[in-house]
Amino acid sequence: MKIIMLGAPGAGKGTQAKRIAAKYGIPHISTGDILRANVKGDTELGKKAKTFMDQGLLVPDELVIDMLMDRIGQDDCKNGYVLDGFPRTIPQAESLDAALAKAGEKMDMAIDVDVPDENIITRMGGRRACVNCGATYHVVFNPTKTEGICDACGEKLILRDDDKPETVQKRLNVYHEQTQPLIAYYSKAGILKSVDGTMEMDRVFDAIVRIIGE
């Protein structure tokens, strides 16, 4: 069961990816985690990646795919895996398909957690963070007992720059331009499934389970 998670930033695909991994006993694979693990482990691929990162450059797609193929070749991936955060563009998807085909593999499904922009801006704009202890809240979905004060440590909460409406809109614009075309790409490949991401989190997961099967 090899699954790619799709969806705009703030759609909740990362949360759902972790839940899929836990339910089906397969690894949740994030390219950010792989990158950090390779750099920390001082692997050959990690050393190559670090030369780009030290210059403030993006790690090239082919290097990311080499790391990804190395990761999915490990024993814990023999029953499948959930990819979260990659691919982000059509060229990345094409390169990934080519690398998988070379290894005699292919993705089974791409699940799109579909949430309209206005819902995402409301969701992310309502998030609040405690810079002291790292706890996160939401003014609507997960409010604190005292408004603006962290339940855990009593410090003031902030709206992070990342969650400000203008920043969120910029991220959404990049998503629509670069990543949304993947929906048509995987639809054409016949492996796209879509769920309504505006539902309550548990209901979104139930819908995903129905798609994958018990």
CB 10 within 8 A of CB 63: no
To the query of whether residue 88 is one of the catalytic residues in this protein, the response is: yes
CB 114 within 8 A of CB 197: yes
Catalytically annotated residue among 13, 19, 71, 128:
13
Nearest of 182, 186, 193 to residue 88 by alpha carbon: 182
Angstrom distances, CA of residue 59 to CA of 52, 63, 168 = 6, 7, 24
Catalytically annotated residue among 2, 19, 71, 127:
127
Nearest of 26, 37, 28 to residue 78 by alpha carbon: 26
Catalytically annotated residue among 18, 48, 50, 88:
88
Catalytically annotated residue among 48, 50, 164, 171:
171
Strands 28-30 and 81-84, how do they pair?
A: parallel
To the query of whether residue 71 is one of the catalytic residues in this protein, the response is: no
To the query of whether residue 127 is one of the catalytic residues in this protein, the response is: yes
Q: Is 190 helix (H, G, I), strand (E, B) or coil?
A: coil
To the query of whether residue 210 is one of the catalytic residues in this protein, the response is: no
With b meaning 16 or more CB within 10 Å and e meaning fewer, what string describes 85-124?
Answer: bbbbbeebbebbbebbeeeeeebebbbbbbbeeeebbebb
Residues near 171 by beta carbon (within 8 Å), at least 6 away in sequence: 9
Q: What is the amino acid identity at position 163?
A: D
To the query of whether residue 203 is one of the catalytic residues in this protein, the response is: no
Task: Give catalytic residues, as residue numbers.
Answer: 13, 88, 127, 160, 171
